[in-house]
Structure 1
Amino acid sequence: MAILPIECSSNKQIERQNRGNMHLIALLTSKENKLKGKDIRFARLFSKGENAVVVAVDHGEFDGPLPGMIDLPEVVKNIDPSVDAILLSPGMLSHCGHAFSYKGAPMAMVRLNWSSHFCFHWNYEDGIAVPAMSAKDAVVAGADIVLICLTLKTGAESQDASNVEVFCSLVSEAKELGLPVVGEYFPARPDRLSPEELHDEVFRGCRIAAELGADLIKTFYTQNFKEVTAGCPVPILGLGAEKTPTQVQALELAERIIQSGGRGVVFGRNAIQVPDPGAFQRALADVVKHGMTAADAARKHSLKD
């Protein structure tokens, strides 16, 4: 369900919002109506009360150059204005500033920590997370929002504790500077988990990330995603994960995320490694923001695999 804009909110309408919306509703309907910097930036992500579309292009931080993302400044320049935010690695914001420098541009979302488990090609096992950029440096670089990853169940309690320490330290820095925090819950070895195991870990991990201070969550879609969104007090964005065989399948994933209570999506390869990225991104916005079915959006934007 979409977050209601402040001008059309009523007490009855507010009561009907799901738990994942209550954070934003509270700040928009404050009697004093004095929004802090974090609240203003957070509300911009869900502009006009709509769900959020984020395009992730931070893969090079872990994989190096990927097809479709070789010339990242050019890729980012061509991301469609219907996208609400673009997720970048720390060093690339300075190379891609042109994508955020005009009225109505997407917001700049920057990843603050580096996690070894994202280096899939090297088969790392330990799930180690370390700071990659301070919140202060992110603000100086032009970030509007920051993303901080949390991984638990690494196989070592000491490593889990270290990951929590890194997460909480960066969350604290960001809050001092008025930056909204996207807490990304990412299992250490998701490819080795059964659907039931993945769901259980995501269900618990999202709540833990929120309890540790995240303002919204990015995570995997699971077989019972409604339970995940219902069990978390902050909005949840579903990630695209593996590249789907067809564009319609990616749109269908987005449709399921929203129908299950998700407040938006974070898609990377599914939004970039396609014949016409702009057309796919506009179709994605229609599904996520306007409730269009995947099939109708694909037809409207003439998507061809």
Structure 2
Amino acid sequence: MNGFQARMKRIFRKGNGKALVLAIDHGMALGPMTGIMDVKSTVKKLDAPDLVDAWLLTKGIYVHAFEPVNNPATFLRISGGATIVGPELTREGLTSDVEEALRLGSDATAASAFIGSPSEHETLIQMALAATECHRWNVPLLGVVGLGKINEEKKKDAKFIGLGARVAAEHGADLVKTYYTEENFDRVVTGCPVPILIAGGPKCDTDRDTLAMIHGAMQNGAAGIVMGRNVWQSPHPEALLAAAHGIIHNNLNVQEAVDLLESKAAQ
């Protein structure tokens, strides 16, 4: 077993090969927001090694606010450089590299590519070059497929989402984070040669909606989730985390997961 395989084994649960990744990298573009206003407290509250397989975070949070009790797997976000108040949120560049990830003790890296945006070319080139450097050190790269300010219908279009996932893999991503489509998501998975983890996307209306999305993705071949605000902006984040874990690792259906959430929330 080489270093790449060892790191992948830390991310994906032994037995079913699935992963629940909790993302707290949103502040790099959105600043302090509900749920991660005090990000150190969020980490402390949701630090459950039996539930969370890995965390996705930026180097600033890694150094200043990430103090888990145990030793979870981590993805270091190595792209950024744009904010919600700037001229173009998709205009990301590389903000770190694999060597910094290794110095911090991270298991994997994550970089964005914005398909269909004005920054498509630059972000894809950056992802591809980052993948080359990561592979030199046997470090997995998560390709985060972003869409930018694009027609909302395209986010529901399995053909378009499938294109983005495949393109990220073709440019060297070892894992892909992309949007879940209610129709034909199995085709997105089939067309991508690397594991797909679904993004939480915008905040769902209810926790049941979040759980239904996770269940639909898992039933159609997803390797797991990379989810942020739909967990830590939930009225009951710890309970939702347990319910999501139940779907991913214990094959719960939506109603069983909702029952678990309500039971945990009532405690």
TM-score, normalised with respect to structure 2: 0.90
Mark the runs of 5 or more structure 1 residues left unpaired by the alignment. Answer: 1-34
- Classify the secondary structure of the residue corresponding to 2:67: helix
* 2:245 equivalent to 1:285: yes
**Contact map agreement 2:158 2:187 (CA 8 A) in 1:** no
Does the Cα contact within 8 Å between 1:243 and 1:269 map onto a contact in 2? yes
The answer on 1:76 being equivalent to 2:30 is no
The alignment status of 1:170 with 2:137, answered yes or no, reads no
**Paired residue for 1:270?**
230
Instruction: Give me the whole-angstrom Cα distance separating, in 1, the residues matched to 2:109 and 2:239.
Output: 27
Structure 2 unaligned regions, length at least 5: none
Structure 1 residues 21-36: aligned runs within 5 Å = 35-36=1-2
Equivalent-residue separation in structure 1 for 2:40 and 2:155 (angstroms)? 39
Q: Does 1:98 align with 2:67?
A: yes
Q: Aligned with 2:90: secondary structure?
A: coil
* 2:169 aligned partner: 210
Structure 1 residue 62 corresponds to structure 2 residue 50: no
Whole-angstrom distance in 1 between the partners of 2:176 and 2:43:
23
CA apart distance, 1:195: 4.4
Q: Secondary structure at the match of 2:234?
A: coil
Q: Percent same amino acid at aligned positions?
A: 29
Alpha-carbon offset, residue 55 of structure 1: 0.8
Cα distance in 1 for residues equivalent to 2:125 and 2:206: 40
Cα offset, 1:186, TM superposition: 1.2
Report the Cα distance in structure 1 between the residues aligned to 2:39 and 2:88, rounded to whole angstroms: 29
3-state secondary structure, aligned to 1:108: strand
Match of 2:9 in 1: 43
Match of 1:142 among 72, 94, 105: 105
Give the deviation of 1:106 after TM superposition: 2.3
Task: Tell me the matched-pair count.
Answer: 261
CA distance in 2, matches of 1:289, 1:233: 22
Q: What is the TM-score with the length of structure 1 in the denominator?
A: 0.80
Instruction: Compare CA radii of gyration and give the structure with the larger one.
Output: 1
Give 1:137 shift: 0.9
Match of 1:114 in 2: 80
Shift of residue 276 of structure 1?
2.6
1:49–1:96 distance in 2 versus 1, CA, 3 Å: farther
CA offsets 1:70-98 (integer angstroms, 9 cap, x no match): 11112112212211011111211012342
The whole-number CA distance in structure 2 between the counterparts of 1:196 and 1:76 is 30
Check the 8 A contact 1:187/1:202 in 2, yes or no: no
Name 1:133's counterpart in structure 2.
96
Give the secondary-structure state (helix, strand or coil) at the position aligned to 2:230: helix
Read off the aligned partner of 2:113 and give its amino acid letter.
Answer: L
Q: Per the alignment, in what secondary structure is the counterpart of residue 201 of structure 1?
A: helix
Tell me the CA shift for residue 188 of structure 1: 2.4
* CA deviation after TM superposition for structure 1 residue 197, in Å: 6.9
Cα RMSD after superposing both structures: 2.0
Is the contact made by 2:59 and 2:76 (CA closer than 8 Å) also made in structure 1? yes
1:145 to partner: Cα distance:
1.3
Contact kept in structure 2, 1:182 and 1:218, CA below 8 Å: yes
Q: Aligned match of 1:193 in 130, 138, 152?
A: 152
Q: Distance in 2 between matches of 1:194 and 1:93?
A: 35
